[in-house]
Amino acid sequence: MKFLLVLVFVYSVCVTPLLANSNRAPFIPSSSVAETLEQHRRVPNPADEVWWIPKGRDMLWNNKNIHQLFPTVNIYRNGPVKPLSYKLNNQIDNFKIKTPQGKLAFVDFLKSDLSSNMAVVILHKGDIVFEHYARMQEYEKPIWWSVTKVFASTLIAILEDRGQIDINKPVDFYLPELKGSDFRGVTVRNVLDMASGVDCSDGTYARGTCYYEYEASLNDAVRSNNTASTPYEALTNMKPGRWADQGVGFDYSGANTFVLSWIVERLMAMPFQDAVTKELWQKMGAEGDASIFAARYGIALSSGGLLAKARDMARFGLLFTPSYKKVSSEKVISDRYLDMIINKGRPELLANARFAGERSANPEIKHNSYQWDVVYNNNDFYKGGWAGQGLLINHEKDLVAVYLGYIKEDGSELALLPRLRELLKTIYPK
């Protein structure tokens, strides 16, 4: 009898990691009651100061607990969970990462003080080959910041596939409210590619600027007497002028993303979060519900407010790979949309970027497209989020990598993306 019990125990231990939704780590409280109260006291008053500025421990806590700090709106899963199988690759764990302190195994680098990584999940051919949670639990749902933007562009692409939108038409064709704004005449395509020319850049973030006031209209920055009641009103009356003609150069702005999500709401006749639920979340066998920051009037922050489990973000990425059938019964991401991302970007946009930086200076980068930050020469396409989040996909190699992070107090953490790409290119060359 003892032998049988031991055998059963060994068997259960061996099979536990085969399915992601069966890989339940022991529950560990995210913080004590006292720590939670203290962290709430430490968060800046949104009426006086931008709340998301704090770094280090405070940013780590905030990123994992947005749902405690602000209202959110739900994105619902439905139907059976599509479990992800494990085929762990020890080469990833042991891959040597170059650091100023010498080479470290990848998993040791993630755990070290050189990194501020919270989690990494890597899929190859639909299987989990690496999964590590350095500074969070696998069941937590941190914020993905700007990674959220590609949900808006993906919904636009779905509308394209159905013939419900022509991206060469101006945005005010679909949103007549914008005819009196500086978005008048700007094509959907140029908004998708961050090439609207409208002077509303993230790069000029300060009180009173166009982008700041857009965020303030969502209660994501300090409101003033001149702040619009809603982002719809803010965009309707947006007249900051133009920094360039449309289609000339890249200029990153979440206001562009909100225009896209507004179009989605208009054409799909539902709030943005419900469109994400219907068209994406309920079609990928998600493990859990997700949510979106919605601090004012229940309006989703489509430019950077998604809260979701790391494995569920990996499932979303899987929709862009040949292994989509492992999580979805239908082909959600069309070959046309993939071709637009990988092959139909416009290199001149990054060459003429408003603010010079990595995107325009890196010779490995081909272009940007459809809210994806960059497409690399090896056809990796990537969407990053402020302060350490990322979604990296290679359709040809059937690879997906997602990660979460934060900024340390002194900003000394080493960037994960270039090291992750080097790892994947080495271990999965073809």
Token look-up 């239908």 returns 330
178-206: pLDDT as tens digits: 999 999 999 999 999 999 999 999 988 88
The strand pair at 372-376 and 381-385 is best described as antiparallel
Q: What H or E segment, with its residue span, contains residue 214?
A: helix 210-217
pLDDT tens column, 327-371: 999 999 999 999 999 999 999 999 999 987 656 668 899 999 999
Percent pLDDT > 70 in the chain is 93
Q: CATH code for 37-124+134-158+261-427?
A: 3.40.710.10
More confident site: 321 or 207: 321
C-alpha to C-alpha distance for 91 and 129, rounded to whole angstroms:
10
Would you place residue 255 in the very low, low, confident or very high pLDDT band (cuts 50, 70, 90)?
very high
CA angle in degrees (0–180, nearest 5) for 142-143-148: 140
Q: What is the pLDDT of residue 214?
A: 95
Q: What is the pTM of this model?
A: 0.93
Residue 361 is predicted with a pLDDT of 66
User: pLDDT band at residue 430, thresholds of 50, 70 and 90?
Assistant: confident
Query: How high is the pLDDT of residue 357?
Result: 66
Q: Tokens at residue 143, please?
A: 């914020």
Report pLDDT digits (tens) over 122-140. 999 999 999 999 999 999 9
